[in-house]
Amino acid sequence: MTVHSDSIIALAKWLKTPAGRYALSWEQDQLDHVVADLFGYYAVQVGLLQLPALRNNRMPFLFSVDEPHAIAHDAENEDAATALTASRSTLVITRFDELPFAAQSLDLLVLPHALEFADDPHQVLREVERVLIPEGHLVITGFNPVSLWGARQVLGRALDAPFLPVAGQFLHLGRLKDWLKLLGFEVNRGRFGCYAPPVRSEKWLSRFGFMERAGDRWWPVCGAVYMVSAIKRVNGLRLVGTIKKERRVAPASLPATAHSSGAKVRHSKTQMDPGES
């Protein structure tokens, strides 16, 4: 299996904490804004059904996929039930690197934290590239290791007191962009958010609310969470083989100016040789 069930459930439980709700609220706002203007027929959310990523999208066919233990856990909480209703159809899978969709069949894929809990996130991206149509859209959210939360996580692992779910392998945004570029994706949008320190109390999170505006202005790449949107680009088609050139056919009639000049010549000849008539 490429996705750890216990890790996904641990993330779902963490999202119910004050810090988790803080991050979830920011991600929901970003996703609502991004997916609202994306059009097509088929949109899919991969994992984390507590976050109804497609609720603002207007495509006619919306799906969500997740592994069975996560779906069973999600069905017990109200937020996930809302996401299941918004997606209209949920598919149970055990491998995110083997999506049950035909090649080039989806217009939009949303991966909220799916890459961070996969054994081979690069292979998951290859599968995403396979199922997306040319010019299809991909949206990814994740935790930023270059942030106060990332530093707290490194320290917490050393002290056996992690702040975030311990099994998550948080990807540096630069590394993620390199992977996307290798697979033919073009990043067209990105945002960082959640600049408050890694505190667990609702009271202290509200006190550090001013850092959201300050961080967005003064140290934007150090937000605890990021959202990236990319488009699958496909090079133009090339014709293979020789190209036969068609011979140009002369016009059936001369231009009007030619007819006019010819008439003048015949008329002048008639005047010069009247005896021939």
Residue 142 has pLDDT above 90, yes or no: yes
Torsion angle in degrees (nearest 10) through CA of 81, 91, 28, 225: 130
pLDDT tens across 208-262, in order?
888 888 888 888 899 999 999 999 998 764 545 554 555 555 555 444 444 444 4
pLDDT tens across 45-59, in order?
998 888 999 999 999
Containing structural domain, residue 204: 5-232
Q: What is the DSSP string of the chain?
A: --B-HHHHHHHHHHTTSHHHHHHHHHHHHHHHHHHTT--SSEEEEES-TTS-TTTT---SEEEEEE-HHHHHHHTTSHHHHHHHHHHSEEEE-S-TTS-SS-TT-EEEEEEESTGGGBS-HHHHHHHHHHHEEEEEEEEEEEE-SSSHHHHHHHHHHHTT--SS-TT--PPPHHHHHHHHHHTTEEEEEEEEE--S-S---HHHHHHTTHHHHHHHHH-GGG-SEEEEEEEE--PPP---S--PPPPPPPPSS--HHHHHHHHHHHHHHHHH-GGG-
Q: Is residue 277 part of a domain?
A: no
The number of domains in the chain is 1
Q: Is residue 251 part of a domain?
A: no
Strand order in the sheet with 89-92: 89-92, 61-66, 42-46, 106-112, 132-143, 225-232, 185-193
Q: Is residue 275 part of a domain?
A: no
* % the chain with pLDDT above 90: 47
Cα angle 126, 127, 131 (rounded to 5 degrees) comes to: 120
Q: b or e along 81-95 (b: 16 or more beta carbons within 10 Å of the residue's beta carbon)?
A: eebbebbeebeebeb
Q: Is residue 166 part of a domain?
A: yes
Residue 20 has pLDDT above 90, yes or no: yes
Q: Is residue 208 part of a domain?
A: yes
**CATH classification at residue 74:** 3.40.50.150
Question: pTM score, two decimals?
Answer: 0.78
Q: Is residue 137 part of a domain?
A: yes
Q: Is residue 73 part of a domain?
A: yes
Q: Is residue 212 part of a domain?
A: yes
Residue 109 has pLDDT above 60, yes or no: yes
